[in-house]
Structures are given as structure tokens and as C-alpha cells.
Homo-oligomer: A and B are copies of this chain.
């Protein structure tokens, strides 16, 4: 008998049809790896034949990287109350380096679990938290440096490869395999992604697999410049709006359109419980900014933050399964004055919180001074660092200034520390940067942060288009992705203006899929052009349905087409 009221269950467990409907002419397939429980999902798009004078010419199916999780699989049984089936439990257990705890070891996690007032909205099937055995390190980087290829590494190798070797051996694909040479700016994209290549990239810190041992539901994915460029989406309730069921629906919606990872930036009430619902049902890695929740615990007063509160929050979230933490440890006391002459000061919320703390106490940022202790927590659960750019520019005027780059240099120093602990790291980047100054960000990040994956917000290449900032930033994102950024944090049309609704999320994601794909093509990622070629062939042959089905948003392509009568003279390609 569930303790959760029926009304809440009904609302929370019913995903709308639009977020779960399979894509047209598509089916979910699984490619099995070296063990039967290693099954990598892909989407197969079937095409119609071409009618030629010599008869029918087959158009073989196209395989698409699939972030949507089991939700688009008509054979999967979805039960949000129970959460997704686990993908990784056996792999984690086999390693024998973790232990199940008796309950949350964070004070806050313990308190929330035992608060009877929360029973009505608590996720019911709470997992028992898992932690590394004493003295053990359970990060993918640690395994990689021991020479171990984990199932997670093999999984992402298969996922990145997208059956490319098979397609190359199949003469039906000869025409769509045509591809222009890329300009990779020093990236090292192999012809085929092997598990050993994945291991090497992780071992040297050039890529990460964000996969907390407490998030066994995750379908592993990799972030690094020698792999497909990824995109992150953000959701989050606020004090004012939205509920748990809306956030879960948005998470599934994000997965549907192609979000590779998702950050939960909630600031309202019941953050802890909302996060649990999301994690248990999330096929993608989940990131958070723990300082946001810590701030809620001290009633929004930055100066009241303490290392102890943040530490407890890190453990609370790590034991729920958060896969990466944004940690603003590079906002040093001495950097704060560097922002005084800026046009737009400090615009990062995390940066602003830490800067206020530093000034109030006139002490060094406690995330910096306690960084080694944070590493100890990260490696006990395999939470990856996303080292936050708290001093990122909030306007073109402030781009690439001393404050921004001073922080970036400190992030490089912290990367080294994290790597001494074998903790995975990515580096956050801007922001607002005019086009001609975008590349400098990438070049400096690669140098100062030793090629740790870069993860940027856009950047926006002009400030004058609120309501279109998915586009202003998509331009910057495509460019910085080309130069080497591993993951692009999406921006929606509501950026700077308000909270995105579902259509804004869709617009933001598709724009960023475009940017990421444009970057893959530009770098010369093997196989990246197959989908373009197949779609263009369909277009040229007036196979309209195939054109729609191969596009990033089949629903909207079809809808737009159906709004007006097709007339050949207006279909200039």
C-alpha cells in the first residue's frame, strides 16, 4: 500500500503522450557488447526505396544516437513510481569496491527521510545509498588509470561508434558515407572508437563518464573532445513555479529531443525530493550546483554558508546519485576586485554567492580551501567535477577579461589536484563572447586546464537579442564546439526573460543539437555526415516522409510542411 496520496500518484506517474510517443518510422534497437547485460540503445530510422527508371533502389536504415531512454521504447514498461530499471548495478557490484550503507549518511538526507510530513511526495522505492569501501576509489578515471576497461567504457565506445564499422562494410551505405575532411584544431578523432581508446582518454583526463555509483539507471555517455559533442539542458523549479510532476515530465521531454545530460537547478521547496524523483527516472547523467541547495538551508544568506553545510549537501546529493557537481572553487577572494570595472559585474549565481561570502568574511573561498576534502567525497561515489566559472562574462564588454581568465587559471590548478585524486573533471566556460574572441577561450582552456573537457554556456555572440538567445548562443556554441568544446549547455528563448516552458526547452535543445552536429561535421567526426547525406538524398528525390523522419524534429518538419501546399518552385534547397 503506497503512502503517497492517489492524487499525487496520478499526476506524477502520467507522462503525457507527447513525451513518450516513438518517433515516426523509428524503432529502438540495442547493440549488445561483450556481455549480455551490456545493451546499448540506438534509434533505427527506416527509409522508403527510391523509384528509378531501373526499378527500386533500397535506402538502408540510418542509425541515430538515442538519448531518449526507455521512454520511446514501446516494449519498455514505464513506472515512474518504481523508477527506471537499473543498467549498471551488476557492474558496480562486481567491482567489489563499494558497500551499501544502512541509510543516508548526510544529516540533511537523514532528516528528510524521516520527516513524516514529506511522506506524501517522497519517492517510495528509495535506493539504499552506496559508497566506496574505506580507502577505495570508485571513479572511472581511477579504473582507467589502473588499465581497467569498465563496462561503462565499452558501453560508450559502442554508443559513440553507432555501428560505423558495420556500415562501412555494407555496400548499400557507400553513397551516404561520403564525408568532407574536417578541421579539428588538434583533436584526435579516431576512425573507430574502441573501448581501449575510451580508457586512454579517461585516464589522461581528456574525457569523462559522469556515472555516480548511486545512479545505476544511467545509460553511460562520454564527454570529451574526441567524441561526439554533447549538450546539456537545465530544468528546475523555483520558489514560485512548477511541481515535481512538471519537472519529471520536463526531464523526459529533454531526453526525447536529445539532451545528453541534465542539470537540476531547482531553488524552490522540496528540492531533495524532486531530485530523487528525477534521478530514479533519469536515463542521462544529472548535474547540480550544490551551493544552490546549501543556500536554501541558510535562508538565502550567502554569508551564513559554512563548509560543514556544503559538505553535508555534497554527501546528501552524492548519495542520491547526482553525477556531476558544479563547484565554484575558482572564485578567489583576490579576483573579486577584478570585476569592479566590469559593465555587468558577476552574473553567475554561484559566483555571486561565493564572492559575497569571501567579501563578508574577508577569507578565501571555502570551496577552494577545502578542495582536497571535496575530492575525497567525489571519489567515494564517482561524482565528476564541473568546475564552475563564477566569473564568466555577462556581456560582450566583459568577455575574456582578467577576472575571467584568472579564474580559468585557478580551475587548471584545481584540475591537477582533482586528478591527483583520480577524480573526473570538466571545466565550465562562458557566457557572452563576440565571435572573434571565442577561440581564445578554447585555446586557453586546453592549455591551462590540460585538455580537461570544456563545457560552455553558449557563448552568446551578441547581447541585443533577448527572446532569441538560443540563436545568439547557438552561433557561439557551434563555433566553440568546432574549436574543441566537449559539451554545450543549452540556452532557451526565455534566457534573461523568464522560465522556459516545454516548447522553449524543445527550441533550445534542437538549436543545440544543430550546433553540436555542426561542430562534429566541422571537426570531421567519422560518420557524422551520414544523416545529412541520407536526408539530402531524400529531399532531392522528394521522399518527403523520409526527409521528415531523418530530421532532428520530425514532428515540426511535418507540421510546417502541411501548413502550406508544397509547390516545387519554393523548395529551393
Contacts and interface: CB of A to CB of B under 8 A. Distances in A.
Contact of A471 (B399, B498, B514): B514
Number of copies: 2
A475 B569 contact: no
A124 interface: no
Interface residues of A, number: 94
A174 to B, nearest CB: 12
Interface string A458-491: 0001111111101110110011001000000000
Interface string A537-563: 101100000011011110011011101
B536 A472 contact: no
Contacts of A572: 347-349, 495
Given A175-B343, A532-B395, A573-B344, A511 B434 contact: no
A529 B396 contact: yes
A434 B533 CA distance: 12
Contact of A553 (B183, B345, B467, B552): B467
A394 to B, nearest CB: 3
A144 interface: no
A515 interface: yes
A564 B494 contact: yes
A464 B495 CA distance: 25
Nearest to A181: B436
Contact of A435 (B434, B467, B521): B521
Contacts of A536: 343-344, 394-397, 432, 463
A464 B434 contact: no
Query: Which of A461, A475, A517 counts the most chain B CB atoms within 10 A?
Result: A475
Query: Which of A493, A497, A536 counts the most chain B CB atoms within 10 A?
Result: A497
Contacts of A548: 466
A238 B514 contact: no
A241 interface: yes
Contact of A517 (B437, B462, B570): B462
A347 B569 CA distance: 10
Contacts of A521: 396, 434-436, 461-462
A56 B524 CA distance: 54
Given A540-B345, A567-B239, A510 B553 contact: no
Contacts of A524: 436
Interface string A26-54: 00000000000000000000000000000
A435 B478 contact: yes
Contact of A464 (B435, B436, B522, B532): B532
A566 interface: yes
A169 interface: no
Contact of A531 (B464, B472, B564): B464
B535 A347 contact: no
A553 B471 CA distance: 13
Contact of A467 (B466, B551, B564): B551
A560 B475 contact: no
Contacts of A394: 536, 539-540, 573
Given A183-B436, A467-B560, A553-B465, A573 B397 contact: no
Given A180-B399, A343-B540, A556-B467, A462 B564 contact: no
12 contacts: A178-B397, A238-B567, A349-B569, A397-B536, A434-B518, A435-B522, A464-B532, A466-B560, A467-B551, A468-B511, A475-B479, A499-B567
- 4 smallest beta-carbon distances between A and B, as pairs: A395-B536, A394-B573, A498-B564, A347-B573
Interface of A: 175, 178, 180, 182-183, 238-241, 267, 292, 343-345, 347-349, 394-397, 399-400, 432, 434-437, 461-468, 470-472, 474-475, 478-479, 482, 493-499, 501, 510-511, 513-515, 517-519, 521-524, 529, 531-533, 535-537, 539-540, 547-548, 550-553, 556-557, 559-561, 563-567, 569-573
